Amino acid sequence: MTNRESLRAGFFQECEDLLETMSDSLARVERDATDHDAVNALFRAVHSIKGGAGAFGLDALVTFSHAFENLLDDIRETRVTPRGDIMALLYRAGDRMYDLVESEQNEEDPARWQQDDDEHAALLAAIAAACANSDGGDTGPEEDFVPTPLAIEMPGLPALDVPADGGSADDRAGDDRWRITFRPLKALYALGNDPLPLFRALSEIGPLEVKPDLSALPPLGEMTWDESYLCWEVDLRADCAAEEIREVFEFVADDCVLQIDRGETQSTHSAQENAGPSERAQPATLPEPLLAETSGDAETPAAGRGATGQPAPRQSIRVDLDRVDRLINLVGELVISEAMLSQSLSEGGKFRDPAVEGALGQLKQLASELQERIMAIRAQSVKSLFQRMSRIVREAGHATGKEVRLVTEGEATEVDKTVIERLADPLTHMLRNAIDHGIETPETREAAGKSPQGTVRMTAGHRSGQVIMEITDDGGGIDCDAVLSRAIERGLVPPDANLKTQEIYNLLFEPGFSTAQNVSNLSGRGVGMDVVRSEIQSLGGRVNIDSTLGQGTTVTISLPLTLAVVEGMLVDVAGETLVVPSSALRETMRAEAGMIHRLGPRDLVLSMRGTLIPVFDLGASIGEREMSRDIHGMPVLMVETAAGMMIALTVDRILGQREVVIKGLSENYGLVRGIAAATVLGDGRIALIVDVDQLAQNAGIALEDSNARLTA
Amino acid sequence: MQDTSVLEKTEQREIVSFRVADQDFCIDIGHVREIRGWSETTPLPHTPEYVKGLVNLRGNVIPVIDLAHRLGLGHTDPGERHVIVITVCEERTAGLLVEAVSDIVTVDCAEMKPPPSLTSSAAREVVEGVFVIRESLVRMIDLARVLPSEAEVAE
């Protein structure tokens, strides 16, 4: 059972790759309709999914991929050209493949995809109608399919024949003879079983002779790929109980027709056998490759070899994510131990020994390289994510009646797997926003002198240790006045607010904000950009909007490369070391007398380049001490909260910038206000990593002060 | 681990006893991972006062609870002779700051008596019952209640 489950899991993993190849090839076909390699790759991907689906009895998927395959075959034979409507149909079919695989994987009720489902049936009908010849299309894929396995040599055959020369044993005991008729059903192959091992197991009981019965075998052209046509007659010479023979077939008993008789027909049978060994050898060669083909087709998609012999293009293994994470933890600790070692050695004065120093330097280098390499294991290219997004764009364009083209760049950019998974929702929101609110209708676009087809550009790349993703549309841009009046209407800002453009854009991230004139079912449900921002923030990233009215909007997301390590500024506060994440840090400075202003009984602000920035003592913020009134000469960290607000944090001493390994507090303790996580320093002590946004919130200044600043 | 021991031999139970503020307490040995000497903790802000802070246990960050403080017996001023008992309870690892570990004893579960009602509320909250071992009173601690609950932490 578990074996079957793991095969099944393997099949779905395989499907992921195949679906990716499929999407890839679709895009290539769209670019160049005559790209035969792409069409072939597309065909193979769909075909392999069908093969695997058949093995697991996923009928809806088999039916659909079969229809899809027929259309692809016509394209391959250049009977149909993949342009215009056909291309759109191919994309819809591709999307449906994703849906089907997903629904089968989640073991949803297959009734959902029964043919009486109107939409699904319509799609199938559309695919069938698109085929050049709907009748001939059915056998099309099989034609190419059968010959390939025929080329396989039959290594199993001699083994089967071996008992035949045990003919001398024939006379030994006439009544120790069993006649077994074995007719496997389709399901036997579908479950990945194979008659050959059964016969081998039988041969352990006694010498045997296996003869195939080909009477049910139709001509090649009429064969159905997954049907079982063969039957075997086995002559077993052994003194054993019928039960012993039955045991061999125990695991396949439900999936075959098995008849076991005492060898009454022995005389006629042996006569027949003696009559024509050459005659028998002849037909015996034929079924063997067919057997190999049929069982191979049932097994291989799950096992990772394409049924049509498509070589695996990349060498890779699948590893449980837990194992990688444990490795990452271990390496993190190795790096810490290394730092502890070098610290205690330098304290002990041992560093003067050049041999120790040299070895330690090497250890340090190795440890950090190891860490880097292991982090890279978790990294994945954003390609699969982009592929999913191209579907969102198609669907959103379809739903809004707008013509939209998605251009992607930097698909090979690698990002942490968790980041990729958690980016899907925010990106979906942003793309839908871009299409729903950004791109205009074709008429409006033409009136504005633009091409009727809108373009959404999605790019990814690495820039200064961060992953930068950009979504750019060439739509109408953000109407600042509309945004502002909506924000005033919603009470997000006072009516007399005088905001800078960037601040107006930031309003889009406020919860419950929506500028859509009509609330469509795509976006504008008021759960858009604020959710996007909080999701990106929880990944340690930031979102930024830039727009030019009439020309388009760019949303930029910057993300950390990995979630396990954070770059931070180490500071000393009230005798403790704290880490302020560099992603929030804008600058460091020393508080000069002229900049410090008192506001009310205890609040302080810094005036800097014309703005007033609220000051907090980091020590006081984390409850270690009372806030000092005299901050003159103290180091100040200027940090920007995710909401785009600047705050100044005073500290006792700045120790320096460092990469630290994040150690979560929630597993052993729980969430602590103002603290994002902890880390272990080089000397083994623990330092807390500050959560700047929570600090600002805790201080209860988030909204009032930003407003005060904005209206100032 | 604890479950099977309860199922198989309902009567016997191994406990680790230790001293806190001149009183004897104990926990089931199944909860104890290791016992280590006191080391400086990193204070954790916005937490109950009995949360002494965090220590580094071979790269893992573990909260340490001042057990005396938790039991309402005054806070401990830890020195070199104090020890931290590393415990695991409901998949959470935590350290208990105690004065000294005294003994490992096998006790009869039936001999556990409910805590007398005159105990102070803080202690009664976390003391599950008491044993009399060699004429001294050993208080069994309900570890799950020693750590602040999720709700308390969030607060």
> Any idea what the CATH number is for the domain that residue B50 is in?
2.40.50.180
Question: Mind telling me how many Å the CA of B105 is from chain A's nearest CA?
Answer: 28
Mean per-residue pLDDT, B101-123: 79
Shared domain for A406 and A515, answered yes or no, is yes
Does A291 fall in a domain?
A: no
- What is the β-pairing status of strands A585-590 and A635-640? antiparallel
CB contact under 8 A, B42 and A665: no
Which residues share a beta bridge with A585?
A: A639
Residue A658: give its domain's CATH number.
2.40.50.180
Cβ contacts from A onto B, under 8 A: 79
- Number of domains making up chain A: 5
CB contact under 8 A, A669 and B60: no
Does B25 fall in a domain?
A: yes
Structure tokens, A96: 């449906």
Report the distance separating Cα A47 and Cα A68, nearest Å.
9
Exposure string over A12-35, b if 16+ CB within 10 A, otherwise e: bebbebbbebbbbbbbbbbeebeb
| Helix ranges restricted to H, A311-382 | 321-347, 354-378
Shared domain for A627 and A536, answered yes or no, is no
Question: Mind telling me how many Å the CA of B64 is from chain A's nearest CA?
Answer: 10
Whether A648 contacts A590, CB under 8 Å = no
Does A679 fall in a domain?
A: yes
Cα torsion angle, A340, A343, A348, A351, sign: positive
CB contact under 8 A, A329 and B59: yes
Which residue from B minimizes the CA distance to A625? B45
Chain B residues near residue A579 by CB distance under 8 angstroms: none
Shared domain for A681 and A547, answered yes or no, is no
Report the distance separating Cα A73 and Cα A65, nearest Å.
12
pLDDT of residue B29: 92
Burial grade of A324 (CB within 10 A; 0-12, 13-18, 19 or more)? middle
Chain B residues near residue A672 by CB distance under 8 angstroms: 44-47, 153
Does B153 fall in a domain?
A: no
Residue A71: give its domain's CATH number.
1.20.120.160
Q: Best of A329, A660, A661, A669 to disrupt the B interface by mutation (most B CBs within 10 Å)?
A: A669
Question: Mind telling me how many Å the CA of B155 is from chain A's nearest CA?
Answer: 8
Whether A687 contacts A587, CB under 8 Å = no
At residue B153, φ and ψ (nearest 5 deg) are -65, -45
Judge whether A675 is closer than 8 Å to chain B, CB to CB.
yes
Residue A176: give its domain's CATH number.
3.30.70.260
Judge whether A686 is closer than 8 Å to chain B, CB to CB.
yes
High-pLDDT (> 90) share of chain B, %: 23
Report the distance separating Cα A388 and Cα A425, nearest Å.
11
Shared domain for A235 and A347, answered yes or no, is no
- Cα Dmax for chain A: 117
Of A110, A145, A180, the residue at which a domain comes to its end is A145
Shared domain for A268 and A178, answered yes or no, is yes
Which residues share a beta bridge with A616?
A: A649
Judge whether A624 is closer than 8 Å to chain B, CB to CB.
yes
Does A293 fall in a domain?
A: no
Among A360, A697, A315, which residue's Cα sits nearest to residue A534?
A: A697
- Strands (E) across A498-564 are located at 542-548, 552-560
Which residues share a beta bridge with A458?
A: A408, A471
Does B103 fall in a domain?
A: yes
Whether B133 contacts B107, CB under 8 Å = yes
Neighbours of A45 (CB within 10 A): 28
**Of residues A337, A663, A673, nearest to B61 (C-beta):** A663
pLDDT of residue B99: 92
Judge whether B46 is closer than 8 Å to chain A, CB to CB.
yes
Three-state DSSP state, B116: coil
Shared domain for A200 and A214, answered yes or no, is yes
Question: Mind telling me how many Å the CA of A613 is from chain B's nearest CA?
Answer: 25
Does B106 fall in a domain?
A: yes
Which residue from B minimizes the CA distance to A622? B45
Domain that holds residue B74: 2-148
At residue A682, φ and ψ (nearest 5 deg) are -60, -30
Does A316 fall in a domain?
A: no
CB contact under 8 A, A670 and B59: no
Q: Which residues contact A586 (CB under 8 A, 6 or more apart)?
A: A638, A639, A640, A646
Counting DSSP H helices and E strands in chain B, the numbers are: 5, 10
CB contact under 8 A, B45 and A673: yes
Question: Mind telling me how many Å the CA of A409 is from chain B's nearest CA?
Answer: 40
Side-chain half-sphere CA neighbours of B131 within 13 A? 23
Does A295 fall in a domain?
A: no
Report the distance separating Cα B25 and Cα B127, nearest Å.
9
Among A473, A457, A469, A460, which residue's Cα sits nearest to residue A406?
A: A457
- Number of domains making up chain B: 1
Judge whether B81 is closer than 8 Å to chain A, CB to CB.
no
Report the distance separating Cα A59 and Cα A46, nearest Å.
14
Question: pLDDT tens for residues A219-269?
Answer: 777 787 778 888 888 888 877 777 778 878 877 777 888 888 876 544 444
* Spans of chain A below 70 pLDDT: 1-2, 109-117, 133-175, 263-314, 350-351, 464-465, 512, 514-528, 562-564, 602, 624, 627-629, 642-643, 698-712
Shared domain for A544 and A670, answered yes or no, is no
Of A560, A589, A614, the residue at which a domain comes to its end is A560
Report the distance separating Cα A168 and Cα A270, nearest Å.
12
Report the distance separating Cα A461 and Cα A561, nearest Å.
11
Which residue from A minimizes the CA distance to B59? A333
Judge whether B49 is closer than 8 Å to chain A, CB to CB.
no
Structure tokens, B5: 């021991």
Counting DSSP H helices and E strands in chain A, the numbers are: 25, 22
Does B108 fall in a domain?
A: yes
Question: Mind telling me how many Å the CA of B56 is from chain A's nearest CA?
Answer: 6
Whether A52 contacts A190, CB under 8 Å = no
Structure tokens, A508: 């889009």
Among A468, A519, A509, which residue's Cα sits nearest to residue A487?
A: A509
pLDDT of residue A200: 81
What is the pTM (predicted TM-score) of this model? 0.50
Which amino acid would we find at residue A448?
A
Shared domain for A520 and A588, answered yes or no, is no
Does B154 fall in a domain?
A: no
Does A301 fall in a domain?
A: no
**Of residues B46, B56, B61, nearest to A674 (C-beta):** B46
Chain A residues near residue B47 by CB distance under 8 angstroms: 672
CA distances from A153 to A150, A216, A217, A286 (A): 8, 23, 20, 11
Domain that holds residue A393: 382-560
Shared domain for A429 and A470, answered yes or no, is yes
Whether A678 contacts A666, CB under 8 Å = no
CB contact under 8 A, B55 and A686: yes
Shared domain for A235 and A265, answered yes or no, is yes
**Of residues B56, B58, B153, nearest to A669 (C-beta):** B153
DSSP-derived letter for residue A608 is: E
Does A526 fall in a domain?
A: yes
Shared domain for A510 and A605, answered yes or no, is no
Of A145, A176, A207, the residue at which a domain comes to its end is A145
Shared domain for A634 and A583, answered yes or no, is yes
Whether A381 contacts A412, CB under 8 Å = yes
Q: Which residues contact A2 (CB under 8 A, 6 or more apart)?
A: none
Judge whether B22 is closer than 8 Å to chain A, CB to CB.
no
Q: Best of A668, A673, A675, A679 to disrupt the B interface by mutation (most B CBs within 10 Å)?
A: A668
Whether A566 contacts A689, CB under 8 Å = yes
Does B155 fall in a domain?
A: no
Judge whether A669 is closer than 8 Å to chain B, CB to CB.
yes
Does A505 fall in a domain?
A: yes
Among A688, A636, A693, which residue's Cα sits nearest to residue A664?
A: A688
- What is the β-pairing status of strands A208-213 and A454-463? unpaired
Does B92 fall in a domain?
A: yes
